[in-house]
Structure 1
Amino acid sequence: RLHYHEFPLPQEALELCADYPVELVGYWHDVGHAEVQARLGYVDKRAWLDTNKERTLGCHLHDVDGLGDHRAPGNGDVEWDYIAEGLPAGALRVFEINQRQPDEDVAGAIAFLRERGVVD
């Protein structure tokens, strides 16, 4: 998402969930969208997980090259260390990769993320 009005800020996301029990309403992190928003200067990419960690249920994993997201992990320049550190152990991890990514890049994504501690 490239426009500021298309998403809440990290604190706003937390406020949207505040009236509901954690068991019913959670936060789903999107690595690529957080990265693009940071590159556009909207928000610090770490703020999403820092602010919403207690409600983080899972995340979409994809890499970013410039402002282009939905790349296979390893096919961009996301700093994966903060993802490995910030995601709760029980959070689901789901790929959200563009179908035009080369098969061999998609096939190598799990090993790439395992080496960085993002997946087991």
Structure 2
Amino acid sequence: MKRHEAREKAFQTLFQLDLIDEDIEETIQERLEEVEKDQFLQELVTGVVEKRQEIDEIISANLEKWSFNRLAAVEKAVLRIATYEIKHMEDIPENVSINEAVTLAKLYGDDKSGKFVNGVLSKIIKD
């Protein structure tokens, strides 16, 4: 599986986790069993889940005139994946993480999602 496809699957899984009130471990297992075993995909999903509080704090600290709780589920999931990559996956260039996040935001969000995600992530990499 290509990394772009893995990011999209990770996005779908994390998006689903944000919307449902079920056992996280069970949901992750179900979603990951649906796709071929991909180490990058598994690292993204489990990494974001394990570091979620830290990631959310980083995102919150880089929002201007916006609160984390007001973010749409699409933007939350995309920002969490990219922030995890930027802060915890040193083998991925920051610009690649940002470009992939913007692509996902444009695909699943509204007209302004890509620009918003780009702005927040640009602030995060300057920290």
Per the normalisation by structure 2, the TM-score is 0.36
Per the normalisation by structure 1, the TM-score is 0.37
Higher relative contact order, structure no. (Cα contacts within 8 Å, ≥ 6 residues apart): 2
Which protein has the bigger strand share?
A: 1
Which protein has the bigger helix share?
A: 2
